[in-house]
Amino acid sequence: MTTIESIQTKQSSRTLANQLARFRELGIILFLVLIVIGATIAQPRFLSSFNLRSILLWVPLLTVVAMGEMMVIITRGIDVSVGSILALAGIIVGMIFRDFPEFNIYLGTLLAILIGLGLGAINGALIAWVKIPPVITTLGTLSAYRGLTFIVSQGRQIDPNHVPRSLIHWSQVGPLGINLVPWVVVIAVVVAILTFFFLRSSKAGRNVYAIGGNQDAATLRGIPVAWTTFLVYAITGALAGLAGVLYASRFGFVNPGETGVGFELTAIAAVVIGGTNVFGGSGSVLGVVLGCLLLGTINVALSVLGIAATWQLAVYGFVILLAVVVDAIIQRELRRASTGE
């Protein structure tokens, strides 16, 4: 079984796959650079510290949620309820801040995370043990949680004067007084790093890849499929809860009808652009982070160029489509290369 021919195909297949993975991340960076260049040419004021900061402010919110969404997609699932979890957690904590202005913001953040964890856990339980397909479950909770957001808040939004100053400072000041890199960015970076180590160095993290790669094999190898699946959705919920607080910090308000609406789409877009396979089994933190950066840049570029926000939705849809199509073509070529089919 180790003829010369097969050794050569083995080696070329390995490097080809590796090459393509690196290629993907380089490709995103290249795209990023192109957009920056293009935007600067069209509008020289693009390259300003203000805009850079806009990007830097926009990205952390997305990154935090995208980390969770990435893990869900690696397990071959999907979570479209993250926007609603973000809103519900955000509004509950926002209401607490409104009614108890002295409430500790760290406690508030922790509470938001726990609320998100609970909501995500419901998703996880329904998917892992009641065995409802992820798309249906999260479609249902997207609705149910959004409805709850309205009910709980009675339709009233959380205004800027309800949000604690110290919380808003997270988006204005950074560590060591470097205001270019506000605390929210640091938080997002920490989340990304933690996710990276979780996926790379913990058994549970490796199990996430295994489940997505071959669920039957995972079960037979004694991997706790149900628990790991549950965990992934619960973590995603917790991250969405955190994002709720970051939202309040960044925008200064939480509105039950607007906050987080359509956010899942953005998160999925970032994950898919970042090279995560929609069929599960593979995905990298770096790729997704770059994807978030790319989307953030596109977002700011669009507004700087005066292109209305109305373009956003179409751009996301197009970008998801592009990423998925490109992936499919790459997969097909890879398969052709190794099996000739």
- Subset of 122-181 contacting other proteins (CB under 8 A): 126, 130-133, 135-137, 139-151, 155
Instruction: Name the token pair of 225.
Output: 């499929």
Q: Indicate which single residue of 207, 229, 249, 255 sits in contact with other proteins (rule: CB under 8 A).
A: 207
What are the phi and psi torsion angles at 173 (to 5°)? Answer: -115, 155
Place of tokens 């935090």: 64
Contact between 222 and other proteins per CB under 8 A: yes
Single out the segment in contact with other proteins by CB under 8 A; choices: 174-182, 221-229, 233-241, 285-293. 221-229
Among 290, 330, 316, which residue's Cα sits nearest to residue 26? Answer: 290
Contact between 24 and other proteins per CB under 8 A: no
Residues ≥6 apart with Cβ < 8 Å to 213: 280, 281, 282
* Nearer to other proteins among residue 22 and residue 131 (C-beta): 131
Using CB under 8 A, which residues numbered 46 to 75 contact other proteins? none
Measure the CA–CA gap between 278 and 281, rounded to whole angstroms. 9
* Nearer to other proteins among residue 29 and residue 328 (C-beta): 328
Contact between 312 and other proteins per CB under 8 A: yes
Single out the segment in contact with other proteins by CB under 8 A; choices: 95-103, 175-183, 186-194, 328-336. 328-336
Q: How far apart are CB 7 and other proteins at their closest, in Å? A: 8
* Nearer to other proteins among residue 48 and residue 331 (C-beta): 331
Count of CA atoms in the C-beta half-sphere (13 A) of 11:
6
Q: Indicate which single residue of 72, 188, 254, 272 sits in contact with other proteins (rule: CB under 8 A).
A: 272
Let me know: does 276 contact 283? Beta carbons within 8 Å: yes
* SS3 state at 135: helix
Place of tokens 């293009």: 38
Measure the CA–CA gap between 270 and 318, rounded to whole angstroms. 12
* Nearer to other proteins among residue 165 and residue 335 (C-beta): 335
Measure the CA–CA gap between 274 and 286, rounded to whole angstroms. 8
Q: Indicate which single residue of 184, 223, 234, 235 sits in contact with other proteins (rule: CB under 8 A).
A: 223
Contact between 298 and other proteins per CB under 8 A: no
Q: Indicate which single residue of 56, 218, 273, 295 sits in contact with other proteins (rule: CB under 8 A).
A: 218
* Nearer to other proteins among residue 105 and residue 115 (C-beta): 115
Contact between 92 and other proteins per CB under 8 A: no
Measure the CA–CA gap between 320 and 145, rounded to whole angstroms. 25
* # of chain residues touching other proteins (CB under 8 A): 85
Strands (E) in the chain, as ranges, are none
